[in-house]
Amino acid sequence: MLVLGAVAGPLHADMWKCEKPGESPLYTSDRNEAKKPGCTQITVTPNIVSSPKATPTPGSFPKVAPQVQQQRDNDRKKILETELINEEKNLQAAKRELAEQESIRLGSERNAQRMLDRIEPYQKKVKLHEDNIANLKKDLGNIR
């Protein structure tokens, strides 16, 4: 620690407040700047916050038996797997709907932008299901 303190230097720096009429005050640690007229040295105290001590868990704090926690984890895994299967089905349906809409060209869509505007909600739906699947797979990977 002594070496670190010697390398890092003191925890404070000399500061000056330089004031000129009609201007905002200038705060500086540059000694050359501080030699100009209207500069006065100010004292700055560093704000040091110590980290709080960790408090031990009280003995009366409720604990879950390992078998109960394992059962909860298994239930959670089954729920996530079911949701994943449903999301994959929804993704396939959304992709089918998007493909159908992309194959249709309405007479009012003489420019490509109108078609893109029409199919945008279908694209967003596909993206939503893809994101949901990615998140479900991530959650399944995090289960103990």
At residue 60, the pLDDT reads 83
In tens, the pLDDT along 8-19 reads: 445 566 888 888
> Which residues face 65 on adjacent strands?
none
Alpha helices in the chain (DSSP H): 2-8, 31-34, 66-103, 112-142
In tens, the pLDDT along 82-139 reads: 999 999 999 999 999 999 988 887 777 778 888 888 899 999 999 999 999 999 999 9
At residue 4, the pLDDT reads 45
Burial class (CB in 10 A: 0-12, 13-18, 19+), 102: middle
Strand (E) or helix (H) holding 26: strand 26-28
At residue 3, the pLDDT reads 47
Rg (CA), the chain: 33
> Which residues face 26 on adjacent strands?
18
Least confident stretch, 55-59, 62-66, 86-90? 55-59
Pairwise CA distance, residues 91 & 137, whole Å: 14
Pairwise CA distance, residues 139 & 132, whole Å: 10
Q: What is the mean pLDDT of residues 66-87?
A: 94
Q: Where are the domains of the chain?
A: 2-42, 66-142
The overall average pLDDT reported for the chain is 84
Enter the pTM of the model. 0.54
Q: Is 91 in contact with 130 (CB distance < 8 Å)? A: yes
Question: Tokens 């705060």 identify what position?
Answer: 27
Pairwise CA distance, residues 49 & 44, whole Å: 16
Give the Cα-Cα-Cα angle 113, 94, 78 (nearest 5 degrees).
Answer: 150
2 pLDDT tier (thresholds 50, 70, 90): very low
